[in-house]
Amino acid sequence: MSTAEIAIHVPRARRRALGPLATLARRRFQLTARTPRELFVPLLTPIMFALVIAPALKAALHTDASYESFVAIGTVGLLIPLNTMFAGLSVIVDRISGAQPELLTAPIPRGLLVVGNLVVALAITALQVGVLIAVAVARGIHFNATGTGILWFVAAAVLFTVGMYGLAEILANRVPRQEEYIARVPAIAILPWFLAGALFPITALPGFLTWVAKFLPLTHGLALMRYGLLQDASGLHAVWGQGSTTTMAALSLAVVGCFALLLTAASIRVFSRSAVR
């Protein structure tokens, strides 16, 4: 190794608005792609529900084929929280043994680090939801989607994913170690799923839990997804009562949108504050 002879130039102030974000997202994607558990583990449970447990429940409870479709959408409500929580785990890994300290000294707004991670979490979730639905269709589960319905589904899934990633990012920046993070995942990702009408309508819950369910963003997200892909507005009716279906869908979308907006803003704030001691 020779003695370094380094030419130092004046830095160029060449900035493109999306350049740093694309760099951060690409980095996160490359790191994720080298960690297969982040891609495949979150898929296992929902696929198990959609393909094994739902048909078994249908047979045991003597329900019709629409129950499988009902549960297939319900499992999207499990897949999204699990996947985003796994994505949040990588934030802790990045902080403890990755290059996060280096990124914090980069000449970019620190909120971009959160947005870069979010973009990848969103892309991977979209891929996984696509796989889940494709597998469900291959298994013979029927969906009844129109163009508008798909838009409702996509809007609900995207906004719910954004909100859940915000929650994961907040948690990842609040807890010091992976063990503590993982200990909180069931309460955040799984418990609400049982209350949000994933496996049965929220009206089947005891009265006060029905009211609790109405305040869960996942309840609104699932109602919208079923409305979009199954033309089934019963979830929206269970939340809002009687009224125009489109109005109820718009209201639920607003709830999920607020959830996404608030949690994203909070996650950027929490990250930016925790990045500076």
Partner 1 sequence: MNAIEVTNLSKTYPGGVEAVKGVDFDVAAGEVFGLLGPNGAGKSTTVGMLTTTIQPTTGSARLAGFDVAEEPLDARRVSSVVFQESVVDRSLTGRRNLEIHARLWGGEPREAAAWIDELAGTFGLADLIDRPAGTYSGGQRRRLEIARALVSHPRVLFLDEPTVGLDPRIRAELLELIAGLRSRSELTVLLTTHYLEEAEQLCDRVAIIHAGRIVALDTPAALLAGLGRQLVEIRVEGSVNSALSSLRDRGVAGEDAFAVGSRVTVPLHEHSSGEAIAAIHDLGLAEAITAREPTLDDVYLRLTGDSLAVAA
CA distances from 251 to 69, 156, 161, 263 (A): 24, 11, 18, 18
Nearest approach in angstroms of CB 215 to partner 1 is 34
Q: Which long-range contacts (CB under 8 A, 24 or more apart) does 90-98 make?
A: 90/28, 90/31, 90/32, 90/35, 90/38, 90/117, 91/117, 91/168, 91/169, 91/172, 91/173, 92/172, 92/175, 92/177, 92/178, 92/181, 93/178, 94/31, 95/172, 96/177, 96/178, 98/31
By CB under 8 A, tell whether 187 contacts partner 1. no
By CB under 8 A, tell whether 5 contacts partner 1. yes
By CB under 8 A, tell whether 60 contacts partner 1. no
Residue type at 182? I
SS3 43: helix
Residue 244 dihedral angles phi and psi, to the nearest 5°: -65, 130
Rounded distance, CA 82 to CA 75, Å?
11
Whose Cβ is closer to partner 1: residue 115's or residue 251's? 115
Nearest approach in angstroms of CB 43 to partner 1 is 21
By CB under 8 A, tell whether 105 contacts partner 1. yes
Rounded distance, CA 266 to CA 163, Å?
10
Of these, 12, 138, 187, 242, which contacts partner 1 (CB under 8 A)?
A: 12
By CB under 8 A, tell whether 185 contacts partner 1. no
Rounded distance, CA 220 to CA 217, Å?
5
Nearest approach in angstroms of CB 239 to partner 1 is 43
By CB under 8 A, tell whether 18 contacts partner 1. no
By CB under 8 A, tell whether 17 contacts partner 1. no
Nearest approach in angstroms of CB 81 to partner 1 is 26
Nearest approach in angstroms of CB 121 to partner 1 is 18
By CB under 8 A, tell whether 31 contacts partner 1. yes
Asked whether 75 and 198 are in contact (CB, 8 A), the reply is yes
By CB under 8 A, tell whether 120 contacts partner 1. no
Rounded distance, CA 160 to CA 175, Å?
23
Of these, 36, 64, 107, 147, which contacts partner 1 (CB under 8 A)?
A: 107
Whose Cβ is closer to partner 1: residue 117's or residue 219's? 117
By CB under 8 A, tell whether 272 contacts partner 1. no
Rounded distance, CA 195 to CA 202, Å?
7
Nearest approach in angstroms of CB 185 to partner 1 is 23
Whose Cβ is closer to partner 1: residue 135's or residue 275's? 275
By CB under 8 A, tell whether 140 contacts partner 1. no
Candidates 3-11, 127-135, 139-147, 217-225 — which segment interacts with partner 1 by CB under 8 A? 3-11
> Residue numbers of the site for partner 1 (CB under 8 A)?
1-15, 19-20, 23-24, 27, 30-31, 34-35, 97-109, 275-277
